[in-house]
Structure 1
Amino acid sequence: MSPVLLKPVIAASLLAALTGCWFSERVEEFGGPTMGSTYSIKYVRNQIAPSPDLLKRETDAILAEIDKQMSTYRDDSFIEQFNQAPAGSCLSMPVPVLELVEEGRVLNAQSQGAFDLTLEPLLNLWGFGPKARAEKVPTPEQLSAARERIGMQHVRRVGEQLCKDVDVQVDFNSIAAGYAVDRVVQRLTALGVSSYLVEITGELKAAGRKPDGQHWRIGLEAPQEGERIAQRVLALDGYGVSTSGDYRNYFEENGRRYSHTLDPLTGAPITHTLAAVTVVDKSTLRADGLSTVLMVMGTERGLVFAERMGIAAFFVTREGSAFVTQGTQAFEQLFAAGDEQ
Structure 2
Amino acid sequence: MKELQIEQRGSVWVGVFRAMASPCEIHIELRSRKRAAQLMALAQKEALRIERLFSRYRDDNVIHRINTAAGRSVTVDSETARMLDFADQCFTLSEGLFDVTSGLLRKAWNFDGSDRVPTMAAVDALLPQVGWQQVSWSEPHFTLPDGMQIDLGGIGKEYAVDRTVSLLNEHCQAPFLVNFGGDLHALRSPVTAQGWRVGIEASRGGSSDALHSILLERGALTTSGDARRYLLKDGVRYGHVLNPKTGWPVEGAPASVTVAGNTCTEAGILSTLAILHGNEAESFLEDQGVRYWVQR
State, as a whole percentage, how many aligned pairs show the same letter.
28
Q: Which residue of 1 aligns with 2:3?
A: none
Contact 2:253 2:276 in 1 (8 A): no
Q: Which residue of 1 aligns with 2:293?
A: 314
Q: Report which of the two structures shows the higher radius of gyration computed on alpha carbons.
A: 1
RMSD between superposed Cα atoms in Å: 2.3
Q: Which letter maps to 1:38?
A: P
C-alpha change, 1:58 and 1:135, in structure 2 (3 Å) is farther
Contact 1:246 1:259 in 2 (8 A): yes
CA distance in 2, matches of 1:250, 1:227: 18
Q: Which letter maps to 1:52?
A: A
CA distance in 1, matches of 2:80, 2:268: 16
Match among 263, 279, 283 for residue 304 of structure 1? 283
CA distance in 1, matches of 2:245, 2:119: 17
Q: Which letter maps to 2:66?
A: F
Q: Is the partner of 1:240 in helix, strand or coil?
A: strand
CA distance in 2, matches of 1:229, 1:156: 47
Q: Does 1:27 align with 2:12?
A: yes
Q: Is the partner of 1:102 in helix, strand or coil?
A: helix
Deviation, structure 1 residue 305: 2.1
Contact 1:225 1:248 in 2 (8 A): no
Contact 2:253 2:275 in 1 (8 A): no
Q: Which residue of 1 aligns with 2:65?
A: 81
Match among 23, 26, 35 for residue 38 of structure 1? 23
Contact 2:104 2:130 in 1 (8 A): yes
Q: Which letter maps to 2:281?
A: G
CA distance in 2, matches of 1:273, 1:192: 41
| TM, length-normalised to structure 2 | 0.88
CA distance in 1, matches of 2:81, 2:115: 32
Structure 1 portions without partners, runs of 5+: 1-24, 318-341
Q: Which residue of 2 aligns with 1:115?
A: 98
Q: Which letter maps to 1:161?
A: H
CA distance in 1, matches of 2:207, 2:25: 21
Deviation, structure 1 residue 240: 0.9
Q: Which residue of 1 aligns with 2:85?
A: 102
Q: Which residue of 2 aligns with 1:64?
A: 48
- Number of residue equivalences: 286
Q: Does 1:136 align with 2:116?
A: yes
Q: Which letter maps to 1:311?
A: V
Structure with the bigger RCO (C-alpha within 8 Å, sep 6+) is: 2
CA distance in 2, matches of 1:108, 1:45: 41
Deviation, structure 1 residue 84: 1.7
CA distance in 1, matches of 2:119, 2:206: 32
Match among 163, 166, 184 for residue 204 of structure 1? 184
Deviation, structure 1 residue 166: 4.7
Q: Is the partner of 2:149 in helix, strand or coil?
A: coil
CA distance in 1, matches of 2:34, 2:148: 43
Contact 1:30 1:42 in 2 (8 A): yes
Q: Which residue of 1 aligns with 2:39?
A: 55
Deviation, structure 1 residue 136: 2.9
Deviation, structure 1 residue 46: 6.0
CA distance in 1, matches of 2:155, 2:115: 24
Deviations 1:104-144 (A, max 9, x none): 2222222222211111111231114xxx9x97332333222
CA distance in 1, matches of 2:69, 2:11: 50
Deviations 1:127-170 (A, max 9, x none): 14xxx9x9733233322221111111123432222222453211
Structure 2 portions without partners, runs of 5+: 1-9
Q: Which letter maps to 1:72?
A: R
Deviation, structure 1 residue 79: 0.6
Q: Does 1:259 align with 2:242?
A: no
Contact 1:243 1:291 in 2 (8 A): yes
CA distance in 2, matches of 1:36, 1:199: 13
Q: Is the partner of 1:294 in helix, strand or coil?
A: helix
Q: Which residue of 1 aligns with 2:260?
A: 280
Contact 2:189 2:216 in 1 (8 A): no
Contact 1:208 1:238 in 2 (8 A): yes
The aligned runs of 1:232-247 (5 Å cut-off) are: 232-247=212-227
CA distance in 1, matches of 2:235, 2:63: 37
| TM, length-normalised to structure 1 | 0.77
Contact 1:44 1:193 in 2 (8 A): no
